[in-house]
Structure 1
Amino acid sequence: MPAEACSPWAEAVRVAALLAVDPTGLGGVSLRAMPGPVREAWLDLLRGLLPGDAPWRRLPLSVGDGRLLGGLDLAATLRAGRPVAERGLLAEADGGVLLPAMAERLPATTAAHLAAVLDSGEAVAERDGLALRAPARLALVALDEGLAPEETPPAALLERLAFRLDLHGIAPREAVGAAPEAAAVAAARARLPRVSVPEDVMQALCGTALALGIGSLRAPVLALRAARAAAALAGREAVAEADAALAARLVLAPRATRLPVEEEPAPDEPRAEEQTAEPPQQEQDLPDPRALQEILLAAAAAAVPPHLLDGLRPGAAARSPAPGKAGAQKASPLRGRPIGARAGEPRGGARLALVETLRAAAPWQRLRGRSGPRVELRKDDLRIRRFRQRSETATIFAVDASGSAALHRLAEAKGAVELLLADCYVRRDKVALLAFRGTGAELLLPPTGSLARARRCLAALPGGGGTPVAAALDAALLLADSVRRKGQSPLLVVLTDGRANVARDGSGGRARAEAEALAAARALRAAGVASVLVDVSPRPAENGRRLAAEMGARYLALPYADAVALSRAVKAEAA
């Protein structure tokens, strides 16, 4: 293979050529690149290889369902005095390519619509009193402009796109090279229906997907279609080994979740050099799927991205989630991200959705005796805007300051709360501190963002006495209810060894104290409070696990963790 064929730009050219041969079958490509000459050069290349009349539509990030799926043409409806439908972007892109901008930030509803279209080839919409169904056989070029590795398009889309292409490492001067002629691609497109696939190739592609840890059935299907497109582009009417290897490298390798493990031969299986008897002639003529699978595995393993290899090695550290995403989504009538409109009157600061109001009134104008540009509005036609915003998170720390906990990890718990408070201050979240010891629980720090105040409370937190777990969980539930009434999202973090020995009324008795603690934990789970239980005992014990299970909480056994490790674990649950 010539050196140019192994360059990143040569691989990008191959992806464009294969996609142009079978755009609908391959689904499309996730194109990871920032706006610039390299991305535009690749897009121009792809557009030049497609049929001249193929639609080419860009999808804005803020597109609404009406423009995406189709709906009522408001201007035409008002002029005609009767409902007039308009085609959406999906229907307009039928037979061509749709380019979603900033695909890593696509809303879930838009991603779901796109995934449904890739599966069915139809755009279906039931809105504005209309039932619309239009063909939408298209390919997606998802423009991924994410900077961080975790910023990717929705998984539902990635699973349906054959290729994942990264142009970040290609300089503008390198984005040149011989590209296939549009006539050759058109000939391959016409040859594609006649390309056959041998049985051994199908088995080898499926075995390669399994060896790479790919659980989705779509991946080997897309690889098979890519192999057929490669064979058609090479002028063959049957998929060859080189076509299957190319498909494994371009389609399966980017989806790998583990490194292939080389299988050892069975103890009673003779080695190749020990097999002296010649097999029958008819068996020699048959292809060996296992040998072909080894070739495809080698091709795919060589193309697995280096950063993915680092994450697949044993003992590799998991990527920590991005901070600032702990708050739950909630509807808001005044501010936030627009999520459509609903029927209602613009009172109390709610905003009138003028276009949606006119859209709701337009189909009824003829019945109301109106024609021409004037529109009669009624109360039922009014629509107000809806918004969604993240609620502020309030993390409630319930710290066990009893004698057993003080002996074990009270110092680490204090350090973890202080570190988390500093992190929450950056995210503008709130932190509250409950301490329980002796016969009850005490609210040392109401929800606040003051770092200095928290430090003073933590420094003055004493240790010693009994372990009133039930009283602590009851106090945490009351505080969580108060947080919710303020429109915030509570997150409860309990740091304890779980050895309850003080009942709600302050009396001793381990059996009664544990029973009341489990009952209080069940009340927290019934209230739906997100929670984490950190077992601070020297060794993970059954008490903590049972208490976490009754709370519906995530259980973290960190007997040897320092304050930094504890802080990271709680932040991971919050995110």
Structure 2
Amino acid sequence: MRQDTREPWVAGQLAATLLAVDPAGLGGIHLRARAGPVRDAFLAGLPTVLTPWHRITPGIDDAQLLGGVDVGASLAAGRRIETAGVLDRAGVVILSMAERCPPDLSARLGQALDRDAGPLVLLDEGAEPDEAAPEGLCDRLAFHLDLEQVRAADMADVALGEDEIDRARLRLPDIAVPDTAVRELTGAAIQLGIPGLRAVLLAVAAARAHAALCQRDAVAAEDLQIAAALVYAPRATQLPPEHEETPDESPDPADTEPTENAADEDPMDAPPPEVVLDAVRALLPPGVLESRASRAARRAAGTGQGARAKGTQRGRPLPSRPGRRHGGARIDLVATLRAAVPWQALRRQEAPDRTGVIVRALDIHLRRFERRTERLVIFCVDASGSAALARMAEAKGAVELMLADAYARRDRVALIAFRGDSADLLLPPTRSLVQAKRRLAALPGGGATPLAAGLDAARAVADRARRAGQAPALALLTDGRANVALSGAQDRAAAMDDARAAAQRIRALGLDGAVIDTGARPRPELAELAAAMGLPCLALPRADAHRLKSGLDAALGT
């Protein structure tokens, strides 16, 4: 059964209205949608209470975000001048390209949300499931909307009027939340596999906002169902089994005795847990829980762009460059004064009362450093078939050549061989040439080709290296004749499907490297697999160790 494409739009309109009623309590909206008319229409339809907008990008610096001393203006005026940051202004902060948000910006925005700085809208344009906004930020936002499947015909305006929102905002502080409502929402969160209490608090805030819109004095059953559907459905990772009706075995009312606190119990007609869970089920597309449960951890932050990283804190000094001070950037005082001195005569004519060296914003030079990041080159070698011995011999030679100059480039090398129905890490990441020669002395070969298993093993090693602060790169040596699926079955079609899926998972890591086609004739399937990984494909039949190393060095830019 296919989900009605109108439901996400209707849910989004209601979420935007609730956010306008209680922006501080609900945090904001995580909006997953590509740039286009649907997303533009949604943003244009936000209530006027959620204005003005302040659009930021992942590259915003701390001075613009948090405010502080404006160095250039202070130098020009001869006194301290401070500017307000985006987070200090009223209105909504809209983060474009949220899937590229760096960890430091995510932490600052999260701290602002914890201080009730104002609502936040994350515009998530990720193309793959693993390309998503930071989890720590999404966890603080009540509503997660996916408008990818919404069509122009579905964009009906169902939001309430501005006067109704204003009345709801005035009524909101007086809305009562019975204890039974909190218990129902907490129990539903546990059954849906939602960890922590933040989602429960956001659901309570959504229920209060909905009750205020409906002009009620306390949260009712309908408010709980709406809150659970909007807040819990995008977070659910499991569903309890369907409630089965059993014969009524309730005790005879005559046999029950009233408790002492029976008169004090809240009279709210709270729905049973099944009713709240049914409200969540209604908004879950088929198969979405399985995909959430099996989704791998989000990829670690990093660029994978090679073995060098420029910064402003430490490393080998580089020539200073003019620039605007931001974040932790440090001013090169000598270079700044050197740039300002030739203009002192003209500047003193403009400001005869100023003493000392007159420095302008254009004179500021920032210190730069280059820090070499340790790189790990992962050789993933096809050790199957009759040509396995030749491939393995050349791979061993390429590994030894790479290790020979590892001390100069601070590289490490790892070797994975796949054959039969599995892949083995034969050489863990190392820079020791002696250890490598000892482990590479005798390696097995022959058997079937579990290409997907080899790619998954390489991805696991690359992910560990990325988390350790290294820059992993992949060198895949194979003829592309995959014939063993991840299940171990001898099925070429299933094996290639598994290999393509593994290639997509590798692409999410953003690795450098190359796919080296060692077959006698280039195979178009292997070129497609390399494109799926975002890597070049080099056809090097009967290549020796030196050619393999040269081709890989060219692909890595070394």
TM-score > 0.5 by shorter chain: yes
Root-mean-square deviation (Å): 5.1
> Does residue 275 in structure 1 map to residue 250 in structure 2?
yes
Q: 2:94 aligns with which of 99, 107, 114?
A: 99
What is the identity, as a one-letter code, of the residue corresponding to 1:560? G
Q: CA offset at residue 329 of structure 1?
A: 6.7
Q: Does 1:221 align with 2:144?
A: no
Q: How do 1:102-501 residues align onto structure 2 when only pairs under 5 Å count?
A: 102-121=97-116, 137-262=117-242, 272-278=247-253, 279-280=256-257, 292-311=272-291, 327=304, 330-333=307-310, 346-347=318-319, 352-356=321-325, 369-370=355-356, 372=358, 382-385=365-368, 394-397=377-380, 410-411=384-385, 414=388, 435=392, 444=395, 446-447=397-398, 482-483=405-406, 485-486=408-409, 490-494=413-417
2:252 maps to a residue whose letter is A
Quick one: which amino acid aligns to residue 171 of structure 1?
A: R
How many residues are treated as equivalent by the alignment?
436
1:66 aligns with 2:63: yes
Q: Is 2:331–2:367's contact at 8 Å kept on the other side of the alignment? A: no
**Residue in structure 2 matching 1:88, options 72, 85, 89:** 85
* Distance in 2, Cα, partners of 1:176 & 1:77: 51
Deviations 1:137-167 (A, max 9, x none): 1110111122323321111111111101122
What displacement does 1:341 show? 6.4
Matched AA of 2:377: A
Deviations 1:182-235 (A, max 9, x none): 121112112111111111111111111111111132111111111111111111
- How far apart are 1:487 and its partner, in Å? 5.6
Amino acid aligned to 1:194: D
Aligned mates of 2:228, 2:155 — CA distance in 1: 24
- List per-residue Cα deviations over 1:102-128 (Å, max 9, x = no partner): 11111222112111211234xxxxxxx
- Which segments of 5 or more consecutive residues in structure 2 lack a partner in the other structure? 341-353, 449-460, 465-484, 510-558
Contact 2:220 2:268 in 1 (8 A): no
Report the Cα distance in structure 1 between the residues aligned to 2:295 and 2:386, rounded to whole angstroms.
23
Map of 1:131 onto structure 2: none
Distance in 2 (CA, whole Å) between partners of 1:374 and 1:255 is 51
Counterparts in 2 of 1:98 and 1:397: CA distance versus 1, 3 Å = closer
Cα shift at 1:397: 4.5
1:460: which partner in 2?
A: none
SS for the counterpart of 2:186 is helix
Residues 239-258 of structure 1: CA distance to partner in whole angstroms, max 9, x if unpaired?
11111100100000101112
Percent identity reads: 32
Structure 1: runs of 5+ lacking an equivalent: 122-136, 266-270, 334-338, 401-409, 418-432, 436-441, 448-475, 498-516, 539-550
Corresponding residue for residue 45 of structure 2: 45
Instruction: Summarize the Cα distance change of 1:327–1:255 in structure 2 as closer, same or farther, 3 Å threshold.
Output: same
The amino acid of 2:210's aligned partner reads A
Please tell me the residue identity of whatever aligns with 2:29.
Answer: V
- SS state at 1:396 partner: strand
Decide whether the 8 Å contact of 2:26 with 2:142 is kept in 1: yes
1:59 positional shift: 0.7
The alignment's TM-score, normalised by the length of structure 1, stands at 0.62
Once residues 22 and 102 of structure 1 are traced to their aligned partners in structure 2, the CA distance between those partners, rounded to angstroms, is 25
Identify if the C-alpha distance between structure 1 residues 488 and 290 changes in structure 2 by more than 3 Å, giving closer, same or farther. farther
| Aligned-residue offset at 1:38 | 2.8
**Corresponding residue SS for 2:321:** coil
Distance 1:552 1:33 in 2: 30
State the SS of the aligned residue for 1:57: strand
Report how far residue 173 of structure 1 moved.
4.2
Q: What TM-score do the two structures reach when normalised by structure 2?
A: 0.63
Distance 1:37 1:495, change over 3 A: closer
Structure 2 CA distance for aligned equivalents of residues 331 and 47 of structure 1: 46
CA distance in 2 between partners of 1:230 and 1:140 (Å): 20
**What one-letter code is carried by the residue in structure 2 that aligns with 1:396?**
F
SS in 2 for 1:306: coil
Q: CA deviation at 1:179?
A: 2.6
Instruction: State whether residues 142 and 231 of structure 2, in contact with CA within 8 Å, keep that contact through their aligned partners in structure 1.
Output: yes
CA displacement, residues 29-56 of structure 1 (integer Å, 9 cap, x when unaligned)? 0112233333233223224244xxx542
Kept in 1, the 8 Å contact 2:312–2:330? The answer is: no
Inter-CA distance 20–346: structure 2 relative to 1 (3 Å threshold): same
1:13 aligned to 2:13?
yes
